[in-house]
Amino acid sequence: MARRDLTRPFEPDATFWRSLQAMNLTRIIIAGLLLAYFSLNDSRVGWVSGQNVYLKICIAYLLLAFAFAVLSAYSPRRFGLQLSAQIVTDILAISGLYVAAGGAKSGLAILYLFPLAGAAILAPLVLALFFVSVVTLFLLVESGYRALTLDGDAAFMQAGLYGAAFFSVIFVVNRLAARLIRQEHLAARRGMDLQIQQAINRLVIADMGDGILVVDRDGVVLMGNPAAQQMLGVARLRRKPAWRLSDMPSFAPISEAFLAWSAVSEKSVSPSVSGRAQIPVSVLIKPGVQATLAAATTIWGERRELFFHVKLRFVAVDTADPKIARTIIFLHDVSEIENQAQQLKLASMGRLTASIAHEVRNPLAAISHASALLQEDIGDPIHARLLTIVADNVARVNRMIEDILNLSRKAQLHGEPFLLFPALIDIVKEFEDAHRLPSAMIALTGSDTSRVHFDPMHLREVVVNLLSNAIRYASRQQASIRLRVVCDDASRLELHVQDDGPGIAAAVRSHLFEPFHTTSSKGIGLGLYLARELCLNNGAMLDYEYRADDADQRCSEPTGRFVITFALPHLP
């Protein structure tokens, strides 16, 4: 908005009133200094000696200065009238002192700069130039009067120079003040626009379904929106003292993904790559109460899910200084989507199993019965071997059908919780007898008083499946397969199934629980998929994790194992 050159209405905003108060303070200081100077020189011979008019003007000027200061402070109204009255008073007081002190030779003409500069800053240009014209005419008239009536020593040249200087200074000051006023108004408008935009951003971020975390380069959480608070189960994200993602074991997957992304971003050649959105990373998070931060505050909210899947996306904020780098972590909870997909999958599986039961099992039973009858009559070893192959493949197809049918069985969780440890003892003993394993090959340890809500038949199928997978890779030495019943940091019951064979490679781990995915020529790829689905049907979770065996994880190398996390509650 351009400011008019010659006239401008008074704008009594806060800035103008503050400037007027500063002008009042300056007026009090000037009047006080003049009065003090007169008092010090009253008894001396000089241009102020014996001039009582000078004393009266200084006292009156000082009193009026105090009155103007009080008026502008307690009655901020009619800015233009107050400013004009103050400038007129300044000009009259300085003119009186100027005449009483002897005119141009006193040097008091410089005091006119104070009111004229104030007019140039706070008043329109026309009014400021009017005051300059009045002062200049006064100086010229005063010089002419002295030339005609007094000593004849006229200072027309000096008065003219003062007038020209006043016009030049006031015009420059007015133009500079106009520019500063425009800049201030522009800054005020920009500030108001920024406040509105920030308010809009806060509302949008608060209502977003995706969670947002802002972290620094060390992974310290600086802020987060309500969606992230609810998603992670954290009651208050911005806490003191500051905390890192790595401080909370439940957030270890997020911390690891952030560190991996940071390492890739630092190695990137193009600096703009880190500022762009990255490919989402899926992690599994198990919220729970953390002992490491229990002394600071209770941070966990009402979320009590056993686990949930989150897709992470990292975006770096462009900052000039790498030391204050900020990263935005977008969290998208896909658990609900997976639950809906699970329901659709189970419904489709139910229809599929019904079709399989009628269309496949009956012909398969006929083939199996016919091959058994042929084996009784055929004595040729070659033909007998071919019939054995037929029988084995029939059994394999039948086992595949049984596994698929198991997916449609609903968990029966209406009964009372049962003791986990005795049930595992029976399952392990039955498994050892069926596979003729040494009694010390499978080691079972842990609490024997913990109870779980889990369908007993489903639990048997899951454990047998995991043990069958373990004996393929175990060394068959003593305690080469270990089952441990433990509690995690959130007091949730877990069952660890581990063998001493080689760990699962990362490429295989990403497809470990997919149906029909197998690395064994004798497998069909439904075992682990079936085990996880049965756990999900019972409110539990099966996953392959790397854990340290010691209580102090720094003293033990993490090793891979299958972990079943049972649903709450599991109290004895």
Position 277 in a domain: yes
Q: How confident is the model at residue 6 (pLDDT cuts 50, 70, 90)?
A: very low
| 56 & 149 share domain | yes
Instruction: Please name the residue that has the structure tokens 């400021």.
Output: 128
> Does position 160 have pLDDT exceeding 60, yes or no?
yes
Cβ count near 44 (within 10 Å): 8
- Three-state DSSP class for 524? coil
| 185 & 76 share domain | yes
| 343 & 439 share domain | no
- The pLDDT score that the predictor gives to residue 7 is 43
Position 2 in a domain: no
Position 197 in a domain: no
Residue-wise pLDDT tens digits, 181-193? 888 888 888 888 8
Residue-wise pLDDT tens digits, 450-479? 888 888 888 888 998 898 888 888 888 888
- Three-state DSSP class for 314? strand
- Assess contact for 211 and 198: CB atoms under 8 A: no
Instruction: Please name the residue that has the structure tokens 């241009």.
Output: 47
Position 8 in a domain: no
Tokens at 123, concatenated: 């008043």
The CATH number covering residue 503 comes to 3.30.565.10
Find the helix packing angle between 79-100 and 125-149, rounded to 10°.
20
Q: How confident is the model at residue 408 (pLDDT cuts 50, 70, 90)?
A: low
Instruction: Please name the residue that has the structure tokens 């502008």.
Output: 72
User: Nearest to residue 185, comparing CAs of 35, 314, 13, 24?
Assistant: 13
User: Do the bridges between strand 559-565 and strand 442-446 make them parallel or antiparallel, or are there none, so unpaired?
Assistant: unpaired
| 314 & 398 share domain | no
- The pLDDT score that the predictor gives to residue 174 is 85
Q: How confident is the model at residue 510 (pLDDT cuts 50, 70, 90)?
A: low
Q: Which residues of 309-328 are buried (b: 16+ CB within 10 A; e: fewer)?
A: ebbbbbbbeeeeeeeebebe
553 vs 163 pLDDT, higher one: 163
Residue 303's Cβ-count burial label (10 Å; 0-12, 13-18, 19+) is middle
| 21 & 141 share domain | yes
- The pLDDT score that the predictor gives to residue 46 is 42
Say which range, 162-166, 253-257, 319-323, has the weakest mean pLDDT: 319-323
> Does position 270 have pLDDT exceeding 60, yes or no?
no
| 27 & 165 share domain | yes
Mean pLDDT of the chain, nearest integer = 75
Residue-wise pLDDT tens digits, 519-530? 665 666 677 888
Instruction: Please name the residue that has the structure tokens 């497998």.
Output: 523
- Assess contact for 248 and 290: CB atoms under 8 A: yes
| 275 & 245 share domain | yes
| 319 & 392 share domain | no
Q: How many domains does one find in the chain?
A: 4
Position 201 in a domain: no
Q: What is the largest CA-CA distance in the chain?
A: 158
Position 83 in a domain: yes
- The pLDDT score that the predictor gives to residue 139 is 84
Position 44 in a domain: yes
> Does position 553 have pLDDT exceeding 80, yes or no?
no
Position 4 in a domain: no
Q: How confident is the model at residue 3 (pLDDT cuts 50, 70, 90)?
A: very low
- The pLDDT score that the predictor gives to residue 276 is 45
d(CA 110, CA 89): 16
> Does position 410 have pLDDT exceeding 70, yes or no?
no
Signed CA dihedral, 70, 73, 79, 83: sign only: positive
| Separation of CA 281 from chain center | 18
Q: How confident is the model at residue 295 (pLDDT cuts 50, 70, 90)?
A: very low
Instruction: Please name the residue that has the structure tokens 């006193």.
Output: 106
| 446 & 555 share domain | yes
Residue type, 269: V
* Most confident region among 105-114, 202-211, 357-366, 404-413 by mean pLDDT: 105-114
> Does position 486 have pLDDT exceeding 80, yes or no?
yes
- The pLDDT score that the predictor gives to residue 342 is 65
- The pLDDT score that the predictor gives to residue 421 is 87
| 374 & 452 share domain | no
pTM listed for this prediction: 0.46
> DSSP letter string over 193-217?
HHHHHHHHHHHHHHH-SSEEEEEET
| 80 & 122 share domain | yes
Close Cβ partners of 210 (under 8 Å, ≥ 6 residues apart): 227, 330, 331, 332
Calculate mean pLDDT across residues 493-517.
78
Instruction: Answer with the one of 280, 311, 333 that is the final residue of a domain.
Output: 333
Instruction: Answer with the one of 333, 356, 380 that is the final residue of a domain.
Output: 333
Residue-wise pLDDT tens digits, 106-157? 778 888 888 888 888 888 888 888 888 888 888 888 877 777 775 555 567 7
Calculate mean pLDDT across residues 94-104.
79
For residue 547, list its beta bridge partners.
559
User: Do the bridges between strand 418-419 and strand 308-317 make them parallel or antiparallel, or are there none, so unpaired?
Assistant: unpaired
What is the domain extent for residue 502?
418-565
- Assess contact for 497 and 562: CB atoms under 8 A: yes
Cβ count near 267 (within 10 Å): 8
Phi-psi map region of 19: left, alpha, beta (phi>0 left; psi -120 to 50 alpha): alpha
